[in-house]
């Protein structure tokens, strides 16, 4: 694979609320002086990482576990193996403390003292080592030694951690620098967030005494055509996976397919706003990467938003290449609007 793989996608979502802010509104951003819809990179990466597509591509045993509650899991496993509650809680606390600062427990929720304050991403190998230690503790009935507690590993096969990185504030030697950078998706045009007023009817209400609704509420939504940019540093990916080229290729293929097909899960039951990318441009080469979001600094206002957006994206790429020289060694595109190219061709291209 080339040093850098860059993926540009245009995906149209119908009325939806895929990624909410603290007030429950669709997230937005001001770009080029106008308000756009936004889907955070965290929301996108979470949807892709846990998707069936990605898990089938790299296989489940190559995907990590992101949690605050590993200490609680250890505690429950020890109880199952016959360790008394007090000892199980103490050993769970010791093991959890190797991965981050512990929360303060209280009398109402004593197991909170086994939870760490910051989410930790565990590789499959680390999770296995933790539960192998649980088995040994249950068998020997002896407290874990310092050697037992060397549970973190630098070499691993966690494809999601290799792509998206991890940060352990209390064990920085085991931090992983992300090999893939994912931009926040933004609409190529101005948007207006709208209100959906709705009611629900009580099925057992005959209407003889009360003609009103049983429930009244409102939610907010918007629709838009989003531009999304992904950059993968394949050198970093190989380094993160201890030069496992086969797994690195599967990770890239799984990420590209998931990015094209998998939508965030927010409010899907209310809006069924699942969508595939309508346009994908893949670039590869050793040149310094760059986003093409500047193509949409001026919001698109055409009647055919998708066709005009593809036109602007391509024209912007050509103009940047003209002033800087080629910013990629080669490229391929897929356009569902015109039926040109295919996702399988895109994936084959980035892996060649």
Kindly state the average pLDDT of the residues 101-117: 83
pLDDT at 175: 94
Instruction: Categorise residue 100: left if φ over 0, alpha if ψ from -120 to 50, beta otherwise.
Output: left
Contact 77, 61 (CB under 8 A): no
Residue pLDDT, tens place only, 321-333: 999 999 999 999 9
CA distance 220 to 144: 52
Kindly state the average pLDDT of the residues 8-25: 94
Judged against a pLDDT cut of 80, whether residue 207 lies above it is answered with no
Average pLDDT in the chain: 94
The larger pLDDT score, comparing residue 23 to residue 179, is at: 179
pTM summary value:
0.92
Six-digit token pair at 180? Answer: 């893939």
pLDDT at 6: 98
pLDDT at 209: 75
pLDDT at 107: 61
For 241-290, the DSSP string reads: TTT-HHHHHHHHHHHHHHHHHPPP-TTHHHH------SEEEEEEESSPP-
Residue pLDDT, tens place only, 23-63: 889 999 999 999 999 999 999 999 999 999 999 999 989 99
At CA 170, angle to CA 164 and CA 175, rounded to 5?
A: 25
Six-digit token pair at 55? Answer: 């898990």
pLDDT at 247: 97
321: CB partners within 8 A, 6+ apart = 327
pLDDT at 297: 97
Kindly state the average pLDDT of the residues 187-205: 89
Residue pLDDT, tens place only, 263-316: 999 989 888 999 999 999 999 999 999 999 999 999 999 999 999 999 999 999
Judged against a pLDDT cut of 80, whether residue 320 lies above it is answered with yes
Which of the four pLDDT bands, split at 50, 70 and 90, describes residue 214?
Answer: confident
Least confident among 96-100, 171-175, 184-188, 215-219: 215-219
Which of the four pLDDT bands, split at 50, 70 and 90, describes residue 1?
Answer: low
Q: Is the dihedral of CA 176, 177, 180, 183 positive or negative?
A: positive
Residue pLDDT, tens place only, 132-145: 999 999 999 999 99
pLDDT at 170: 82
- Kind and range of the H or E element at 36? strand 34-39
């Amino acid at each position: 694979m080339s040093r850098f793989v860059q993926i540009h996608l245009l995906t149209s979502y119908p009325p939806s609320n895929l990624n909410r802010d603290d007030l429950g509104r669709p997230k937005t951003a001001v770009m080029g002086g106008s308000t756009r819809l936004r889907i955070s990179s965290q929301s996108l990466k979470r949807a892709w990482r846990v998707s069936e597509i990605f898990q089938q591509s790299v296989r489940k045993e190559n995907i990590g576990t992101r949690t605050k509650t590993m200490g609680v899991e250890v505690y429950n496993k020890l109880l199952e193996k016959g360790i008394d509650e007090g000892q199980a809680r103490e050993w769970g606390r010791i093991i959890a403390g190797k991965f981050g600062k512990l929360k303060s427990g209280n009398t109402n929720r004593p197991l909170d003292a086994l939870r760490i304050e910051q989410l930790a991403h565990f590789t499959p190998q680390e999770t296995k080592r933790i539960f192998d230690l649980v088995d040994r503790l249950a068998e020997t009935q002896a407290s874990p030694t310092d050697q037992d507690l060397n549970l973190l590993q630098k070499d691993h096969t966690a494809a999601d951690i290799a792509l998206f990185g991890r940060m352990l504030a209390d064990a920085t030697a085991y931090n992983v620098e992300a090999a893939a950078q994912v931009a926040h998706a933004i609409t190529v045009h101005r948007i207006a967030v709208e209100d959906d007023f709705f009611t629900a009817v009580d099925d057992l209400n005959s209407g003889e005494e009360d003609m009103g609704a049983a429930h009244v509420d409102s939610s907010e939504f918007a629709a838009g055509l989003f531009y999304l940019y992904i950059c993968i540093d394949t050198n970093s990916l190989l380094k993160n996976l201890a030069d496992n080229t086969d797994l690195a290729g599967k990770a890239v293929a799984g990420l590209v397919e998931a990015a094209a097909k998998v939508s965030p899960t927010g409010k899907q039951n209310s809006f069924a706003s699942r969508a595939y990318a309508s346009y994908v441009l893949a670039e590869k080469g050793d040149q310094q990467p760059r986003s093409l979001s500047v193509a949409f600094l001026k919001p698109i206002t055409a009647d055919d938003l998708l066709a005009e957006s593809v036109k602007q994206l391509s024209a912007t790429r050509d103009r940047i290449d003209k002033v800087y020289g080629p910013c990629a060694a080669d490229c391929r595109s897929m356009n569902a609007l015109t039926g040109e190219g295919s996702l399988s061709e895109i994936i084959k291209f980035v892996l060649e």
